[in-house]
Structure 1
Amino acid sequence: METSGFLYALSGALGKRTKFQEKDISQLVVLGKSRQLGTDSGVTEHKSSDPAAPAALPLNDDTLLEKIDFKGDAGAKPTSELPEQLRDLTPDNQPKLKPEDQIILLTEATLKDTFSPSDSLTSEEILPFAVRVINDKSTNWQIYTQALLVRSRIELHRSRTLERAVLQMQAVVDQVIVDTQAPIPASKDAARAADHEGSNGDSSVPSIQITATNGQSTTTLTPAPSTSTSAPASNKPTSFLPAPKPSESASAQDRLRYVNALASPPRWHLESELAYAWASVGSLVSATEIFKRLRLWAEVALCLASNATSDDDQDGRGSGGEEKARAIIRWRLYHRTDSHAASKDDDGFEDDDDDLDDADTDISALKISHFQGPERSPPPPNAPRLFCILGDLENDEAHYERAWEISGRRFARAQRSLGELHLRNREWTKARNAYVAAVAANRLSPEMWGRLGDIELRLGRFPAAAEAFQRAIATSNGTEGGEDARTWSNLGSALLSWYREVVAEVKVTKDGKLENNGIAEEKKEEAEEDEGNDVDSSPTPKSLADDDDDKETMPSTSTARAARLGKRPQQLLQDALEAFKRGATIAHSNWRIWDNVVTLAASLSPVPAFDDVVLATRNVLRIRKSEDALDVDVLTLLVREVTGRPAGGGEGEGGAAAAEAVYDPPRATIQKKVVDLLEADVVPLLTSRSEPWALVSRLRAWRRDWAGALDAAEKGWRAAVAGAGIGVSGGGGGSGAGSSSLAAVTSSASADGHGQSKDWLLDADAWDVVVQRTGELVAAYENYGERVESIGPKWRGKARMSVRSVMSKGREAWEASEGWGVLEGLLEGLKT
């Protein structure tokens, strides 16, 4: 600011924002200092001994402080990047600013609000500029009011400051209305009578008199004598809040001093902003009254419809709001029911038989039946929006189509509402056509692009759905609307379905080509044998049939689209994975999206994305916290990947001792991640499923943790044989595993579709699982028993006890089964 010499900076300082905050954290603050004026600068500063300013309402919150409590030594350090003149300033003790410099701060806040994304970060950057001006009490009335408005607009989006924001805006609007609006006439007839008397030359008209005093002539305006018996003060506009004090009001000269530099909004703009604020907090009655005064009839109808109840409701509190809303909209769009063909004026327009500009119209007396006449010509300026509102109230697609035509096919809201109506009627194709027209009129709406993608996905048009979701993400300016977890997840679903469709089509095409190639070889041999004999070169019926076959093997839309975009099937699958990962990052607690990441990462070829599989599986388990969330197939894939290569540690330093030690994989390797996943996340969840214990045993054996592998095998066997109320104390204690029986098995192989346990004495599948776990336990005793100090040579006896325990319980039910033979073979092998 070279011209004004004003220095300011948006910086940070330690402070507290809440009453219960104990630790100071960094808070944004604006540091500013005006240039000191010299006596010979030729500039005179506008000073006021007691400047008037509207009252800044207190926050009165039980948690937030009235203003940030900055730390005592929060001044800038000498090494700060701030200008040298600002380094000695403290946030809560800054010098007064000149009015022009305060306007610069508010202008900076306006520019940031206009050219930055509408999000919470932008609001945090704008608020300190308004607070810096509000802290300067000695300022111009209009500047102070503008700062209060900037702060209120930001606080409207915060739950703890919402009340003050609305009331502060109401206080400002009240003062503007009361100080600037003329007294309201007692009635419309009285106003017309006054106008009539003035036109007849009545003495009530003010007169200009020229008088001479000491030889000089002066001109004075003599007010007209009052002819009304009623006091004008009774009709003066009143305020919603208590009337402002004289110290809070300023003269017109003070208010208009910086009006051009501030670009303050006009009064009706402030009132409409206040009405929208009241509507946002649910005070529809207050909002409706303001909208009536501003003659914003569309907003009046929406407020009435939002608060609509029927007149004949049971508790008798109905207001008939929806009927009133329909009557208001029809009043604006249609002539009265009993009106005949309207006469046309000189411009060719129909004369309006209703006074639409009549401010005294009682809208509560309007009825739907009163306005069933022809459509007004020309239509009101906001006719497309009014027709859409009427379509919402009456569920009539003709109103949306009329709005579309009146707008010259440019009002996207008409087609969007028409599409929603078709969706409610489950007319998918019509809804798609409507949304295609809507996005053609407004290509920067992430909501409409996302909705179109949903419809395309429902119709099975996966390439179009993927494009629509990508457009929704590209046009979004934040997490609201297009760039949210739902859109990313839907994009992943569209790409995944597209991939599956392309793979299926490629497979069908290859099969068709192979079959056609065989037919072509046979025809080629026949042609070589009959060469020179055929004189008719016209196509035969067989060749026509072949042409049809060729058409059937032509690539469809999905394959052609993928080929045109240069996307191979695996690339589509990779893109789907990235979309799901982005959605899971945004919705970190949505386990379904993480589960999709697991599925796709494990499906990649030639090598699955194991890091993504581990990360997503860990998040699914973190969210669900149940063994029902375990996917045994995915865990098997991970364990197979790790155990497919030998564990390290056998060579180098340590020799034979290192080869026998438990192997701990290096950090950041897939082996380390899988080990941590099973030991830290899977094992604590296991209570009744046996399959995961088999995987844990296999992984521990790979790490040369023989005692842990044998312990996991015993726990898996106990989980399998714990069905049908059988409590088995397995194998004599083993390597630290308890002897208490576990819950009934609920795995997919030994549980029904409702997750209830099956009796392995009655169910063949559950019996097979028990036989399999018994065989794995015997193999674990045989392979690792002698390496565990607590078992040693006793492993053979423990294995026999486990097999005999199962055989004694299942003899009556399964003695003639194939599994029984397996157990007999195991027992026979343990005798030697």
Structure 2
Amino acid sequence: MSLDISPIEKALLRGKWTVLPQDNPSPVVDLARAVVEGRFRDALTSPGARELFHVQSPSFDLPFDQAFNPPSAAQGDDAELVRLTLAVACLHAFVQVNWTGPDLDVEPLEVISLGSAESTTAPLNEETLNQKAISELAQGGEPAYHLTKVAAFLRLAEILLALPYDRCQSALWWRLRAASIHQQILDEPVPQPPTLLASLEPLTESCSTEPDLAGRLILEQGLLEHQISHDKSAAERFVQAAKATGLEYELTGALGKRTKFQQFDLSQLVLLAESHLPDDDAATTGDTSKNTDEAAATTPADSRAQPTNLPETLALNDDTLLEQTEFTSSSPAGAESHLKHIDPSSQPALHPLDQCILLSMCLNVKNTSPSHGLTNEQMSPYIARVISHPRNWSVHTMALLLRSRLESARTRTVERSTLQLQALIDQMPTADSTLPERLLYFHTIPLSNRWELERELALRFLGLGVVRSALAIFERLEMWEEVVRCWGALERPDKAIAIVRDLLEGRKAEAEEVVSRGKTLAGGVGAGAGAGERQRQIHDAAREAKLWCLLGDLEPQRAVEHYERAWAVSGGTSGRAMRSLGGYHFARASYGEAIVCLKRAVAINPLLARSWFILGCACMREERWEEAKNAFARCVAIDEDDAESWNNLASMYLRMGPPGKEKDRKDDDEEGDGEAKPATTTTSIPFTNKLLAFRALKQGLKFSYDNWRMWSNYMVVAMDVGELNESCRALGRVVEETSAKAGADSVDVDVLDRLVNAVTRAPADPEEAAAAAAAAAGGGGGAEAAGAYSSPNEGHGLLRNVSGLFERILLPRVTSARVFRAYGRLLTWQGRWEEALGAYLDGYRCGAAGTLERDAAAAADVERWREAVGEVEDVVDVLRNFGPRVEGEGGAGGAKWRLQGRSIVRTFMGRTKDFEDEPEWERLVELQRELARKEENE
């Protein structure tokens, strides 16, 4: 189904007004133009808006969606468009105050039209209206930030957008934007209705002929997926957005320098990118981008004179690092690059929308890579490519913000990182750029709101040890969890407790006064009591529940009481209360109670991987394997990088029996009574479960490559499912990680023997194995031999990896009799007689017989001596069998095998004379005589 979007709707979506000759001037056109140009006061105080935002009751004692009753049915051709336009005005007014700045010139009560004041109820004020809206914006058990400004505008926008739209199809798109903004004011992300993104598919198809609109829509869907931690889906959306706009990009290398004293050019990572969208933003952004290509070729991007309407880009001013990488090559390293015509040091300016796509891809690199230096190296080229050509205020702000985050972990750049972040915060209320420009690409970038930026700055201060400065910011923002953290760092937990109690008891409307003066009001009498009562009334339930949870964290001896009080205050909607209570019970081994609490928590907000993980661990301790499996499966669905959850998921698969044989626990989860027993023994684990465990471990190892325990589990499971090639690789990784400490114990010799057996079952001659394979392919027998020749898990297909395991990993690191014997068997199968003989002799020296000769304490152990006798007989048999073959090949020492055998027997007998009375001694004497007779006969 193709949906039609009117030109006015497109102007609202793009944030750019174009002259429409076919439209006659009308009130709705004037209204839409005012919204696009950022004149929200004109739009929201228009007669049509006052009629739409009329409230019958002067006290406004009803919820927003009941107090306002806008007509859902169209009243005229333009009624829907008016509603949509006013919803956009409310939404962008909310964004202006809390994200982009500058200050807004209209307040919600100037927009809302109240009924006649006939009652004695106190008149409504802005603070009360704002707190009412904030309380209604709590979602999924997560409270909205309580200092959010003009929250009523967001509520009004959501109410208008929730109405049915028959003509204005772009309302679906604006619902997506409103949902994304709503997510960013909550404490934690909450799941969105599945229909939100699904309903946009027809709209995506209808926009396919307009690349900029299609790219915007797909990118914004990806950003919402990113907010709710669906990183894989988000990555796919970002790539689709690049295809929609025609953006060409490639991460490659080019010769260049990164330091001032670098003498030789080295390959540097660079992002080559080229836009194909029409460049129609130069006039609106004030960026003279038509001359930036030439300027970029001769002048570093950060040192060029920036357009006056863009954020300040601070210089690094380091005595070693360059401001940016200087590329000395005019072409990328890849000869087959489809962007090889681009000079890395002088790339063309990108369209701002394409810049947004690159910044989003950079975000996804951060989400899907391990937390180490490689991530920074991958992200930096994306950001540098955007910063080099500033085109838009919001986009450039986002790029500088991402660069600031990257540089916060490096000693040479941490100063600029902090100063740049402070500069970005300071620019928000200024009028250095127009509001339409700031809103132009706002929805296509994950720009943080004002309090999140300030919180980030405070956390930066805290990381640098500037605790008092961080504390001052947190107090002003009333972020009490961080305030508690700061007082903990200052070793004053009593201050934190006093603050939270004052807030809960309503003794202070402004908690920062309590902190700054270091004292509280006594008793709450007189005027203080009146102020406290008013503050208590405007506390919404979600915020009060959060404060009770915080008090529970601070007072562990009364934690259960406080968490349960939080649950009661919230009316059973506080996910934080159940998460905290579940964690409390889990830490004290009350796993049944923890399961009950955590199940309630994940039912309220299923997007928090940590809650699912603890729930899975609790179920595992209670032997409720099916439930634990489901919990860990949710963990990895939310956070694919969680290697520990992958490992636990594999463990659950290996503990579960066939379907239907485990007790169904669904009905008694809430009660938490009884225990689920293991469904079955390990011998009856279905092969499908083993295969699922193998796949889970394989995925988890991508994110925990150095975890030898996971490699050990992977090795055993891979062997069990017939993936011997992977088992071989895993055994090598275990030995590499543990041999320095564990020595020979790092080798699982049973697995090693099975690997050698899998190789040696096949015919040793490759031609014979190939002939068997051909015969099997022709319909005759020999399927097993054919498989051994072609399969990577046995025979010649496995030989290369097993040989490499011995030669590159095992033999250089460990000394073990069984390892040498296994290697000898492999060499014997290959017909390498002299090397096989040497391996068996090395194994003899490491075995019981060899150590018995050197260890006086072991020499007194008769059982050890009997084992050693068997080894002596075995090595003599090896010499008897391999000696003539080595001699026949002209190998050194082949003619002396009998002499070597007699020497081994004689030496062993000479050093273990204390066991002459044992029956096995006669076997040694007879073996010595046999060797002497054969030598005499020859």
TM class, shorter-chain normalised? 0.5 to 0.7
The aligned counterpart of 1:412 is 575
1:570-603 alpha-carbon deviations (Å, 9 max, x no partner): 2222322332333334322222222222223334
Separation in 2, partners of 1:680, 1:115: 37
1:500-519 aligned within 5 A: none
- Identity, in percent, stands at 30
> Does residue 707 of structure 1 match 2:866?
no
Contact 1:473 1:487 in 2 (8 A): yes
> Contact 2:849/2:872 (CA < 8 Å) preserved in 1?
no
Residue 827 of structure 1 aligns to a residue whose secondary structure is: helix
Distance 2:839 2:336 in 1: 61
The answer on 1:356 being equivalent to 2:534 is no
| Residue deviations 1:65-97 (CA, integer Å, cap 9, x gap) | 311323352499999867xxxx98755446789
Q: Is the 8 A contact 1:416 1:438 kept in 2?
A: yes
Q: What is the CA distance between 1:784 and its match in structure 2? A: 1.7
Tell me the SS of whatever aligns to 1:777: helix
1:692 to 1:297, Cα distance in 2 relative to 1, 3 A: closer
What is residue 400 of structure 2 aligned with on the other side? 148
Kept in 1, the 8 Å contact 2:806–2:823? The answer is: yes
Aligned to 1:610: 724
Does 1:490 find its partner at 2:672? no
Correspondence for 2:864: 766
Does 2:877 correspond to 1:634? no
Which of 557, 582, 589 in structure 1 is aligned with 2:699? 582
* Mapped partners of 1:74, 1:602: distance in 2: 48
Among 803, 817, 829, the alignment partner of 2:930 is 829
Contact 2:330 2:344 survives alignment (8 Å): no
3-state SS, counterpart of residue 323 of structure 2 = strand
Mean CA deviation greater in 108-117 or 164-173? 108-117
Q: Residue 326 of structure 1: CA displacement?
A: 0.9
Q: Which secondary structure state, in structure 2, belongs to the residue aligned with residue 489 of structure 1? A: helix
Distance 1:489 1:281, change over 3 A: farther
- Aligned residue for 2:497? 326
> Shift in Å at residue 634 of structure 1?
2.2
Q: 1:28 aligns with which of 252, 255, 271?
A: 271
1:792-803 alignment, distance < 5 Å: 792=894, 794-803=896-905
CA shift in 2, pair 1:408/1:78, >3 Å: same
Tell me the CA shift for residue 493 of structure 1. Answer: 2.0
Tell me, what secondary structure is at the counterpart of 2:859?
A: coil
User: Is 1:808 aligned to residue 935 of structure 2?
Assistant: no
What is residue 459 of structure 1 aligned with on the other side? 622
Within 2, Cα distance between the matches of 1:174 and 1:326?
Answer: 32
Q: Structure 1 residue 114: deviation in Å?
A: 8.6
| SS of 1:69 mapped into structure 2 | strand
Structure-2 change in CA distance of 1:275 and 1:805 (3 Å): closer
User: SS in structure 1 opposite 2:928?
Assistant: helix
1:117, distance to aligned residue in structure 2 (A): 7.8
Please point out which of 304, 316, 321 is paired with 2:487. Answer: 304
1:430 aligns with 2:589: no
Distance 1:574 1:432 in 2: 28
Equivalent residue, structure 2, for 1:660: none
Instruction: Give the counterpart of 1:472 among 613, 623, 635.
Output: 635
- Other structure's SS at 1:453 match: helix
Q: Of residues 466, 471, 488 in structure 2, which corresponds to 1:288? A: 471
* Distance of aligned partners of 1:106 and 1:707 in 2 relative to their CA distance in 1, 3 Å threshold: closer
Task: Select 1:819's aligned residue among 913, 917, 920.
Answer: 920
Alignment of 1:8-19 (within 5 A): 10-11=249-250, 14=254, 16=256, 18-19=258-259
Q: Secondary structure at the match of 2:322?
A: strand
Partner residue in 2 for 1:221: none
Q: Secondary structure at the match of 2:607?
A: coil
Distance between the aligned counterparts of 2:811 and 2:382, measured in 1?
A: 55
Scaled by the length of structure 2, the TM-score of the pair is: 0.56
Which of residues 539, 547, 571 is equivalent to 1:380? Answer: 539
CA deviation profile, 1:709-758 (whole Å, cap 9, x unmatched): 3222322333336767846xxxxxxxxxxxxxxxx6xxxxxxxxxxxxx7
Alpha-carbon distance in 2 for matches of 1:701, 1:29: 55
Secondary structure of the structure 1 residue equivalent to 2:847: helix
Rg bigger for which structure?
1
Separation in 2 of the partners of 1:125 and 1:792?
A: 59
Please give the alpha-carbon distance, in whole angstroms, between the structure 1 residues aligned to 2:285 and 2:555.
Answer: 64
CA distance in structure 1 between the aligned counterparts of 2:623 and 2:603, rounded to whole angstroms: 21
Residue 604 (structure 2) pairs with residue 441 (structure 1): yes
* RMSD of aligned residue pairs (Cα, Å): 4.7
Task: Give the superposition deviation at 1:682.
Answer: 2.9
Question: Conserved in 2, the CA contact under 8 Å of 1:717 and 1:770?
Answer: no
- Aligned to 2:764, the other structure's residue is in SS state coil
SS in 2 for 1:761: helix
Alpha-carbon distance in structure 2 between the residues aligned to 1:44 and 1:455 = 55
Query: Does the 8 A contact of 2:575 with 2:600 survive in 1?
Result: yes
1:803: Cα distance to partner?
1.8
Q: Return the alpha-carbon distance in structure 2 between the equivalents of residues 649 and 7 of structure 1.
A: 52
Q: Is the 8 A contact 1:152 1:166 kept in 2?
A: yes
Q: What is the match of residue 708 of structure 2? A: 591
Q: What CA deviation, in whole Å up to 9, does each residue of 1:429-464 have, x standing for no partner? A: 222222122111121222211121112222222222
CA distance in 2, matches of 1:759, 1:358: 74
Write out aligned runs for 1:706-785 (5 A): 706-720=833-847, 726=853, 759-785=857-883
Which ranges of structure 2 fall in alignment gaps of 5 or more residues?
Answer: 1-209, 214-244, 289-304, 663-674, 771-787
Residue 393 of structure 1, CA deviation:
0.6
Shift of residue 406, structure 1, vs aligned partner: 2.4
For residue 288 of structure 1, report the CA deviation from its aligned partner. 1.6
- Mapped partners of 1:145, 1:603: distance in 2: 54
Q: In 1, Cα distance between the equivalents of 2:283 and 2:603?
A: 59
Kept in 2, the 8 Å contact 1:720–1:769? The answer is no
Post-superposition offset of 1:647: 1.9
Matching residue's letter, 2:589: R
Deviation at 1:170, TM superposition (A): 1.0
Quote the residue 2:799 is aligned against. 671
8 Å Cα contact 1:709-1:780 kept in structure 2: no
Q: Which amino acid in 2 is paired with 1:822? A: R
Query: So what's the TM-score if we normalise by structure 1?
Result: 0.63
Distance in 2 (CA, whole Å) between partners of 1:596 and 1:438 is 31
Change (3 A) 1:106 1:402: farther
Q: Secondary structure at the match of 1:816?
A: coil
Kindly indicate which of the two structures has a greater share of residues assigned to helix.
2
- Counterpart of 2:98 in structure 1 is none
CA shift digits 1:547-567 (9 cap, x unpaired): xxxxxxxx98754999xxxx9
Task: Tell me the secondary structure at the aligned position of residue 694 of structure 2.
Answer: helix
Q: Which amino acid aligns with 1:290?
A: I
- Tell me the matched-pair count: 613
Q: Report which structure shows greater RCO (CA 8 Å, sep ≥6).
A: 2
Determine the structure 2 residue equivalent to 1:204. Answer: none
Residue in structure 1 matching 2:314, options 57, 65, 90: 57
Given that residues 8 and 33 in structure 1 are in contact (C-alpha distance below 8 angstroms), is that contact kept between their aligned partners in structure 2? yes
Structure 2: how far apart are the matches of 1:95 and 1:367? 61
Contact 2:852 2:868 in 1 (8 A): no
**Contact 2:407–2:417 (CA<8 Å) still a contact in 1?**
yes
Q: CA shift at 1:50, angstroms?
A: 8.2
For residues 769 and 341 of structure 2, the distance between their equivalents in structure 1, rounded to whole angstroms, comes to 63
Inter-CA distance 440–255: structure 2 relative to 1 (3 Å threshold): same
1:669-712 per-position Cα deviation (integer Å, ceiling 9, x unaligned): 1234333333443333344x333333333332222222223222
Quick one: distance in 2 between partners of 1:256 and 1:764? 92
Are the structure 2 counterparts of residues 712 and 650 from structure 1 closer, same or farther at C-alpha, using a change threshold of 3 Å?
same
Conservation of the 8 A alpha-carbon contact between 1:665 and 1:672: no
1:56: how far off? 2.3
Report the equivalent of 1:170: 422
CA distance in 1, matches of 2:314, 2:685: 63
